[in-house]
Amino acid sequence: MLCWGNASYGQLGLGGLDEEIVLEPKSCDFFTGKRLCDVGCGRRHTAFLLGDGTVYTCGCNDLGQLGHDKARKKPGNLMGHVWEPGAVQLNPSVPFCPSEQVVALDAQNIVAVSCGEAHTLALNDKGGQVFSWGQNKFGQLGLGVDGPVVLSPHLIQSLLGIPFAQVAAGGAHSFALSLSGAVFGWGSNKFGQLGLNDTNENKNEKAQSETLGGVFTFGAGGYGQLGHNSTNHEINPRKVFELMGSVVTQIACGRQHTLAFIPSSGKIDSFGLGGNGQLGTRSTCNRISPAPVKGPWAALSDFSSKDQDFAEQRYCVKRIYTGGDQSFAHYQFLQDSVVPDDFRILDPRRHICTLTFELIQKWLSHAQGRLPHEISDEIDLIFSSACCLNGSFLDGSHPDHYNTSRKYPGVDVNLARLLLHRLSQSPQVSQLVAASLEKNLIPRLTISPPDIEALRLYLTLPECPLFTDPNTYITIAIPFAKATICLKEPPLKVLCNWWSRLEPPVFLRRVELYKDVVVYLLRMQKVGVAPTEQRVFTCFLQTSLKMLEILHSVNEKASQIIQYDKFYIHELDYLIDIRNDYIMWIQQQMYSVPLDGPVTMCKYPFVFDAQAKTTLLQTDAVIQMQIAVDQAQRQNFSSMFLPVVESVNPCLILIVRRENIVGDTMEVLRKSKNVDYKKPLKVIFVEEEAVDAGGVRKEFFLLIMRELLDPKYGMFRYYEESRLIWFSNKTFEDIDLFHLIGAICGLAIYNLTIVELHFPVALYKKLLKRTPTLEDLKELMPDVARSLQLLLDYPEDDVEQSFCLNFTVTEENFGATEVFELVPNGTDIAVNNSNRLDFVNAYVDYIFNKSVAPLFNAFYAGFHKVCGGKVLELFQPNELQAMVVGNTIYDWEELEKHTEYKGEYWAEHPTIKIFWEVFHSLPLEKKKQFLLFLTGSDRIPILGMKSLALVIQPTGGGENYLPVAHTCFNLLDLPKYSSREILSEKLLQAIDHNQGFNLV
């Protein structure tokens, strides 16, 4: 070790030296036979890190910078004395203590040290934990505490969780470099030395600065220590152009001087204050631009020299250090073929522990016998440390890896999955991992991590197979979810942003995990939970559901990473009483309920599948009807003028004529009270004897919707390209008709009958008070929407000249062309690069909202007159659409599987076997015609094929008769045909000539 500069406080660690200033490099014998790993240089003190992870300090200790509490000595005569590590202090002239090991760090394996003017930093291997001690006047210790001095090493709690690779202390400020290249600075900023584009005096909290490339300096420059050939201060990082042309691999900064190592020449350049010889130029002059340190340095070209004498006289610099007014150079002789350190490359010896293929393989190689303590300690170290896990699985292939941001976490989740799954090959290793997660890591997760890098484990850790083991749900998966949902808003927002960019299979695994946890807990509840454990159980269930709620919110904002039905928990149908759950949910909203009260699944409607929501809808209908009937009875009973309580009809009766179905229906509904809309619907066609067991009601909806949607009314505009309809903004029909259509849709839902209504999903969004978007316009008007998308995607700057648009829309109405302004004075506002998004939004708003507002409002009022209530909020727009018009998710095997048979028919009867052979061979359109023939609609109810409950029974008359459909009951009369050909012919005749409702 070579050293030079100020030695008056013993900070050079030299023994037997008479000078207070060393002008050129001298050898320090203390390190003979020792492996030196790092040196930190303060203004009056120095810290040495040895290969065994121990730290020694020497020099002045007036502010506790040596890291121990030795008594201060009174100033005395020290002329001619300097102090080496471990030496006895004699006649001190300033307050300082004998140099010795920092015993407070004895339990730590330190991998890096750095010293400021009067403070010291140390970095350990346990996930990159940073310790600090010494002067704290400017917050340079980062401990978040007041007080000018801290005498012994303290862990910087606010940095926990960030994997650090390097620490650096300036005069009264500090820096830490993460594995991803993020630089954190804190402390004094009087001269802008934190590089944050300001000179605010102190920064007591960590502030992240930008990632840099090349040699940059900033801060105080009064002695030329910035190397810019000037004495100006710099508040922003500025590149040292005087070093351009040379590849610099090491930089070291003193109090007011700087060293730079250039491996090609093997030389050290220095600049700044030189009054104490710290520049090593054999002079005490200052330098405002780089000048060489005098010494027998070996260049790269000298490495091939075979001259033994020459090799023994040349020093190969391993590493440079400087601080205060002193400088050090760790060297070896040319003959040792040393390779200089390169600060641009992470030194693996100073790397924190992370999970790697090699480490896992080492653990698994011992899996057959008892694990050695060394391996047990390694497992516990990594899985107890947020830093270690946050430093693992880094994605170096991604271009943004060295700029980890709110959009990109810098980790490879698939790599994490691969490595963590390898651990499961050994039960012993898995048990140790589980113990570390349960006892150490998860309980210590903080609600406010110091930086986004500390959030990475929230992405990677759930890939561990332990999370999906039901035996660890209570100890790992649920506590981890608790830590996640308790994060403060800013870190949770970042995490949600990362989640939104996960691949669908990865995101789905998170969802499936906590769905499984919920099912596990509900099964426990069904078996029975002890009263004493009920509160804990409730907390567990609520935590898991809230985790799913956050994931669902992310999925919605990201326009569905996965389909919304992936959140459905189909087991709810038999795990909970959905009706009671809904009633309890309503009661909780009406009355104040404690936070730890019973969990209602209705609070998390995204987990309900179509069957569960249908049950809720039926429950809501019954509740609303019962409430209304009870109110009517109480009102009648309270009236003293009526001798008898007026009876309340339990059904809404519609008596209509086929030839005037719209007028008759409107007349009945106009006279009906709001309560009547909630009642079960019974339809009677005048002069017809059909008993409405469902089939008459089906035909009623079919006929009235056909009539209302007939083009003769002009109430709706048909779009040929999409085969969909939307409200016509130019109609001469009574607005009450739109109210009627809304009510009919509501009645169809409440009576579980699907109707033909070819609206886009935008209608159901609006019914649920959601805003239609350009994506909805693509469904209704594909050509127009594509043009608008082209406008948004146009890459050039000449939108106004290329598209020639203004804020208007042109429409054809009854053969006439009309122009409507999208905004006030829209004709005079040209669409350009800056306002094109406003134009598109205004266009979409015009089509779906402004142009049809009165008509839709009437439709909305009629619909909500029937379907108003909390239950509607539980539906997705697509689900509400399926409730109204059914869906086209055909599963013909499911239809056959759930068909029942009467009489002599059974599944293996020859006629039945022929029937299904013929049916499955039909083209799709014919199968849909069969559904229309049998059920009155060619669409599938929201509950699927099984809910159709098709019944087939034999009938007499022989093969000359056609099959007959009893639409009321979804019942098919099927004669016993003797051959496939005859059955096929008769079935096609029946479904091709079906029209209207038939009573057989």
- As to burial, measured by CB atoms within 10 angstroms (0-12 exposed, 13-18 middle, 19+ buried), residue 505 is exposed
Report yes or no: 778 and 891 within 8 Å, Cβ to Cβ: no
pLDDT above 90: residue 460: yes
Name the DSSP letter for residue 411.
B
pLDDT value, residue 978:
87
Taking the C-alpha atoms of residue 352 and residue 129, their distance in angstroms, rounded to an integer, is: 9
Q: What is the largest CA-CA distance in the chain?
A: 130
Shortest CA distance to 30 belongs to which of 12, 4, 5? 12
Task: Identify the top-confidence range among 260-269, 284-293, 835-844.
Answer: 835-844
Taking the C-alpha atoms of residue 981 and residue 989, their distance in angstroms, rounded to an integer, is: 12
Mean pLDDT (whole number) for 393-400: 74
Confidence of residue 748 (pLDDT cuts 50, 70, 90): confident
Name the DSSP letter for residue 968.
T
Mean pLDDT of the chain: 83
pLDDT above 80: residue 197: no
- As to burial, measured by CB atoms within 10 angstroms (0-12 exposed, 13-18 middle, 19+ buried), residue 672 is middle
Higher model confidence: residue 454 or residue 968?
454
Output the DSSP codes for 657-720. Answer: -GGGHHHHHHHHHHHS-GGGGGSPEEEEETT-----SSHHHHHHHHHHHHHHT-GGG--EEEET
Note the pLDDT tens digit of each residue in 521-574.
999 888 877 777 888 888 999 999 999 999 999 998 988 899 888 999 999 988
Taking the C-alpha atoms of residue 653 and residue 676, their distance in angstroms, rounded to an integer, is: 9
pLDDT above 60: residue 256: yes
Which structure tokens are listed for 218? 């900033």
pLDDT above 70: residue 329: yes
Report yes or no: 105 and 35 within 8 Å, Cβ to Cβ: no
Confidence of residue 513 (pLDDT cuts 50, 70, 90): very high
Note the pLDDT tens digit of each residue in 5-20.
888 888 887 765 667 8
Mean pLDDT (whole number) for 264-274: 89
Mean pLDDT (whole number) for 820-849: 93
Active-site annotation, residues: 968
Q: Helix/strand/coil (H, E, C) string of 925-967?
A: HHHHHHHHHHHCCCCECCCCHHHHCCEEEEECCCCCCCCEEEC
Taking the C-alpha atoms of residue 537 and residue 124, their distance in angstroms, rounded to an integer, is: 40
Taking the C-alpha atoms of residue 17 and residue 424, their distance in angstroms, rounded to an integer, is: 60
Residue listed under structure tokens 């959030």: 455
pLDDT above 90: residue 296: no
Which structure tokens are listed for 944? 């699927």
pLDDT above 50: residue 75: no
Task: Identify the top-confidence range among 115-129, 540-554, 645-659, 664-678.
Answer: 540-554
Note the pLDDT tens digit of each residue in 590-623.
776 665 678 889 889 899 987 788 788 778 777 7
Note the pLDDT tens digit of each residue in 101-132.
889 998 888 888 998 889 999 998 876 789 99
- For residue 769, CA distances in Å to 766, 818, 892 come to 5, 29, 35
Q: What's the whole-model pTM score? A: 0.72
Higher model confidence: residue 72 or residue 146?
146
List the beta strands (DSSP E) in 228-364. Answer: 234-239, 250-253, 257-262, 267-272, 287-292, 315-323, 326-333
Taking the C-alpha atoms of residue 252 and residue 529, their distance in angstroms, rounded to an integer, is: 64
pLDDT above 70: residue 734: yes
Note the pLDDT tens digit of each residue in 24-46.
888 877 667 778 888 888 888 88
Shortest CA distance to 316 belongs to which of 338, 343, 342? 338
pLDDT above 90: residue 651: no
pLDDT above 80: residue 761: yes
